[in-house]
Amino acid sequence: MGPQVRILLISDTHGSLGVINELVSRTQADAVIHAGDFGFYDDGSFEHLSERELRLQIVHSNLPPEEKARVLSLGEAGKIESAREHCLLGDFQSYLDGRVRFHVPVYAVWGNHEDKAVVERLVRGDLAVDNLHLLHQNQAFHLGQAFIYGLGGNLLPGAKMLQQPFAGGSGKVWSTLSQYADWVGMVDKEAGQEAFRIQITHVSPGKEPFMEYLGARTRANFTVSGHMGAPTTMTWNAFAVHSVEEARERLRQGLATVKTACVKSTRGNPQWVEQQLARIEHMPGETDFLGHGQKEPPWYRGMTHINLPDAHMGYAVMDIADGGAKLQTFLR
């Protein structure tokens, strides 16, 4: 048994990173799990954004309406200059420079709105921030009694999923089939049989059945996600919303959707797609015997999903001890 640990669960900070240390202090958390749209931009990221992404950064900023309208009326060069002036891509450069640091370990995935070049350099180790640890297809962590593993980016079944990692550009990032296959293999190898497992993705298992399939496949006790912009923290499991048959069918359809889109998009190498999917498809321990002849998969009651709102709306705190967890949710 590992020590008791209190984890702050947060998502979608979009570069406003001061809230992390603020909430760590408020909750007395030992560590942070962040479910993406972190704000992985540096001083060079403005030139990497598409015009649409740059407009979104301005539209969703805290600029006064009059200034926002003025900046939006400018040409691309003017938008970039004003966005730099107002630091609209957030605070991450100050953490890269060491001027600010995270007070406790932060375990994060990237979201779908990030600078792919910055994410890639962080994963390679070309960039580093004190107390920041990225979760990805080759990296997971043991945190107290928990094994935490994650993969960020968007889920886009089809041709984009067949690209080589890291996939994305112009301010967008998505995950690839080979990343998912490597990720599942890494969990199988590193988690340990008795680990209390927490899966972190940006995309919600409630929105995308494939993400729920991955949670079941990797025997997650909890999944943590963001991306949806919900007004509060949402928690549920399959038992609460589906019959066993409905829940199984949802997972089957999630896998089938990805498989069909990827096979249809492959050009001359369907065997490679089948090989990657074969690494994902094996579902361990499919049934438990619960008496009265009833059978149901262990994930049906044993996996709980947590979908977080944007950080300015709310967060959650999880206490892990004695092989179990307590969860509290908060509105800001």
Task: Please list the helix, strand and coil fractions of the chain in percent, rounded to the nearest 5, in that order.
Answer: 40, 20, 40
Quote the distance between the C-alpha of residue 73 and its chain's center.
Answer: 34
Across all residues in the chain, what is the average pLDDT? 93
Residues 6 or more apart whose CB falls under 8 angstroms from that of 235 comprise: 304, 305, 306, 307, 327, 329
* Phi (first) and psi of residue 54, to 5 degrees: -65, -45
Which has more confidence, 72 or 288?
72
Percent of the chain exceeding pLDDT 90 equals: 83
Q: What is the pLDDT of residue 285?
A: 60
How much is the pTM? 0.94
Q: What is the pLDDT of residue 270?
A: 86
Q: What is the pLDDT of residue 324?
A: 85
- In this prediction, residue 168 has a pLDDT band, given cuts at 50, 70 and 90, of very high
pLDDT at 236 over 80: yes
Q: Which residues of 267-299 are buried (b: 16+ CB within 10 A; e: fewer)?
A: eeeeeebeebbebbeeeeeeeeeeeeeeebbeb
pLDDT at 328 over 90: yes
Q: Which residues of 48-59 are buried (b: 16+ CB within 10 A; e: fewer)?
A: bbeeebbeebbe
Return the CA Rg of the chain: 20
Q: What is the pLDDT of residue 323?
A: 74
Cα-based angle 330, 140, 9 (whole degrees, multiple of 5): 5
pLDDT at 289 over 70: no
Q: What is the pLDDT of residue 262?
A: 95
pLDDT in tens, 153-162: 999 999 999 9
pLDDT in tens, 45-56: 998 899 999 998
CA distances from 66 to 60, 70, 78, 216 (A): 14, 6, 16, 49
State the average pLDDT over residues 303-323: 95
- In this prediction, residue 138 has a pLDDT band, given cuts at 50, 70 and 90, of very high
pLDDT at 135 over 90: yes
Q: Look at domain 5-41+93-331 and name its CATH class.
A: alpha beta
State the CB neighbour count (10 A cutoff) for residue 241. Answer: 12
Q: What is the pLDDT of residue 284?
A: 63
pLDDT at 293 over 90: no
pLDDT in tens, 57-104: 898 888 999 999 999 999 989 999 998 999 999 999 999 999 999 999
Least-confidence region, from 119-128, 172-181, 279-288: 279-288
Domain ranges of the chain: 5-41+93-331, 43-89
Looking at the DSSP bridge assignments, the partners of residue 107 are 33, 133
206 contacts 305 by C-beta, under 8 angstroms: yes
State the CB neighbour count (10 A cutoff) for residue 19. Answer: 16
N- to C-terminal Cα distance for the chain?
A: 34
